[in-house]
């Protein structure tokens, strides 16, 4: 198959390129990234086998011309929540308006099938667990709101223009090439950095809140199953939103215990109030309308659990990788790339 991967220097995009080439050495992959959150090193082992274009998707027509792709996997986005929160306009243009550029490009180039990375974060306000895809959505933070609007847009484009789109509502993803270095890395990246550097981890909760974690290899299988199913479909016009989660919520404290087991080290922990979690982003508070700290508290302590039946019924997919095995693989990789 011939893939376009947006955000290819990101965690998902780079891992997907590697996984496709490992399984299908003849696959053709073109990737675009503007390097706003990506790392070139993530592509080191595949760079000679892909076409990598450094550029912004806002210029997708200029960057690509009218090339046809069997599948467009749209990973690019501003993913960190406080980054979205501090600049609504940027968040909407990167996470929503660029979906317009992607769909227009797909139509102009006859590339009918798109895998779009939505997020389990859109279930922000829910009290229904496990959370099904038909649960009513009521967001208050900007990141999940952008993902939900983008889903609605893609669904409309499927109806009106015959695109096929699978929107993957991804829960907490982890894996070797996750981010360890951004301003506020995701939990497992942060805990591993603290363990390896023997620095205290500052945690903003009791650690008893539970989230649904899914390992990168499992996710990549789902992406490829869905891309293949769309390609084999004789017709367009289908929109499917599907959860990508394990269905098993696990507490932060349990994750810490497993990381200590796989690393053979003890993590030092400092605890602070949940409401201070985004204090690194002072711009969220130094303005006339500030973010309500209760919203931050809610986000830190939120519980997540994906309903997994729809992914199983649509694609025959369930997450398989054992959490402790996945964390061990992350630790092995992190030891190689994190300097002391
Ligand atoms: N990682 C998770 O736990 C998680 C969970 C739910 C949803 N998601 C979603 O999955 C997708 C992939 O996540 P990820 O962890 O790989 O994120 P990431 O930040 O590692 O990768 C996104 C990549 O997109 C690039 N990018 C952003 N805007 C761009 C633009 N305008 N033009 C070109 N490149 C651009 C960035 O430089 C980055 O390399 C994102 O859409 C994210 O919102 C991720």
**pLDDT at residue 38, rounded to an integer:** 97
Selection from 243, 46, 238, 52 nearest residue 159 by Cα: 238
Determine the Cα–Cα distance for residues 63 and 54; give it in Å rounded to an integer: 9
Ligand 1 mutation target, pool 77, 142, 148, most atoms within 8 A of CB: 77
CB 3 within 8 A of CB 70: yes
Q: How far is the CA of 118 from the centre of ligand 1 (A)?
A: 10
**CB distance 119 to ligand 1 below 6 Å:** yes
Predicted confidence (pLDDT) per residue in 171-204, tens digit? 999 999 999 999 999 999 999 999 999 999 999 9
CB count, 10 Å around CB of 163?
A: 25
Question: For 249-268, what is each residue's pLDDT tens digit?
Answer: 999 999 999 999 999 999 99
CATH of 2-174+213-247+305-320, one of 3.50.50.60, 3.40.50.720, 3.40.50.1370, 1.50.10.20: 3.40.50.720
Minimal CA–CA distance to 161: which of 111, 223, 226, 116?
111
CA of 208 to the centre of ligand 1 (A): 28
Q: Where do the domains of the chain lie?
A: 2-174+213-247+305-320
Q: Starting at the edge strand that comes first in sequence, how are the strands of the sheet with 172-174 ordered?
A: 172-174, 210-215, 249-251
Q: Which residues contact 163 (CB under 8 A, 6 or more apart)?
A: 103, 106, 107, 112, 113, 114, 154, 157, 236, 237
Whether the CB of 224 sits within 6 Å of ligand 1: no
- 329 vs 89, 259, 323, CA distance in Å? 38, 11, 10
Cβ neighbours of 129 (radius 10 Å)? 16
Question: Is the CB of 294 within 6 Å of ligand 1?
Answer: no
Which two three-digit tokens encode residue 245? 């989660």
Low-confidence ranges of the chain (pLDDT < 50): none
Give, using CA atoms, the residue closest to atom 7 of ligand 1. Answer: 119
Q: How far is the CA of 42 from the centre of ligand 1 (A)?
A: 13
Ligand 1 centroid from CA 12, angstroms: 7
Q: What is the pTM for the complete model shown?
A: 0.98
Give ∠ CA 270-268-285 in degrees, rounded to 5: 30
Task: Measure the CA–CA gap between 328 and 144, rounded to whole angstroms.
Answer: 30
- For residue 94, the SS3 value is helix
Tokens 């997708």 correspond to 60
Give the number of residues written for the chain.
Answer: 340
One-letter-per-residue 3-state SS of 200-248: CEEECCCCCCEEEEEEHHHHHHHHHHHHHHHHHCCCCCCEEEEEECCCC
Is 111 near ligand 1, meaning CB less than 6 Å away? no
Give me the helices (H) in the chain, please: 11-23, 60-64, 81-86, 88-92, 98-109, 142-161, 187-197, 216-232, 252-263, 293-300, 309-315, 323-337
331 alpha carbon – ligand 1 mean position (Å)? 22
**Cβ of residue 69 lying under 6 Å from some atom of ligand 1:** no
Cβ-contact 61, 267 below 8 angstroms: no
Does ligand 1 lie within 6 Å of residue 60's CB atom? no
59 lines ligand 1 (CB under 6 A): no
Q: Which of 169, 174, 100 is nearest to 311 (CA)?
A: 169
37 in contact with ligand 1, CB cutoff 6 A: yes
Can you give the pLDDT at residue 339? 78
Q: What is the pLDDT of residue 340?
A: 64
Give the position, in ligand 1's atom list, of the atom nearest the Cα of 182.
Answer: 19
Backbone dihedral angles phi then psi of residue 217, each to the nearest 5 degrees = -65, -35
């Amino acid at each position: 198959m011939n893939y376009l991967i947006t955000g290819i220097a990101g965690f998902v995009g780079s891992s997907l390129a590697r996984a496709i080439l490992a399984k299908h050495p003849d696959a053709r992959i073109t990737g675009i990234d503007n390097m706003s959150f990506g790392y070139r090193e993530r592509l080191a082992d595949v760079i000679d086998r892909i076409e990598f274009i450094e550029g912004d998707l806002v210029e997708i027509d200029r960057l690509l011309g009218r090339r046809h792709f069997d599948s467009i996997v749209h990973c690019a986005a501003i993913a960190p929540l406080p980054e979205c929160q501090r600049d609504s306009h940027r968040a909407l243009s990167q996470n929503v308006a660029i979906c317009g550029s992607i769909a227009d490009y797909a139509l102009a180039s006859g590339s009918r099938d798109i895998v779009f990375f939505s997020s389990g974060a859109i279930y922000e306000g829910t009290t229904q667990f496990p959370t099904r895809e038909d649960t009513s959505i009521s967001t208050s933070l900007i990141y999940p709101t952008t993902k939900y609007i983008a889903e609605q847009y893609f669904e409309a484009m499927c109806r009106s223009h015959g695109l096929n789109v699978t929107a993957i509502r991804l829960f907490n993803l982890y894996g070797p090439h996750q981010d360890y270095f951004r301003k506020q890395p995701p939990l497992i990246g942060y805990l591993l950095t603290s363990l390896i550097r023997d620095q205290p981890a500052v945690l903003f909760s009791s650690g008893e809140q539970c989230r649904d974690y899914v390992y990168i290899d499992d996710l990549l299988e789902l992406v490829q199953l869905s891309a293949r199913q769309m390609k084999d479909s004789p017709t367009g016009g289908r929109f499917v939103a599907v959860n990508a989660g394990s269905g098993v919520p696990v507490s932060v404290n349990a994750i810490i215990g497993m990381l200590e087991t796989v690393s053979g080290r003890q993590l030092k922990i400092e605890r602070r109030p949940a409401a201070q979690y985004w204090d690194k982003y002072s711009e969220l508070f130094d303005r006339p309308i500030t973010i309500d700290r209760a919203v931050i508290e809610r986000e830190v302590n939120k519980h997540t659990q994906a309903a997994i039946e729809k992914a199983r019924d649509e694609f025959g997919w369930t997450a398989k990788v054992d959490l402790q095995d996945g964390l061990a693989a992350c630790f092995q990789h992190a030891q190689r790339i994190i300097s002391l």
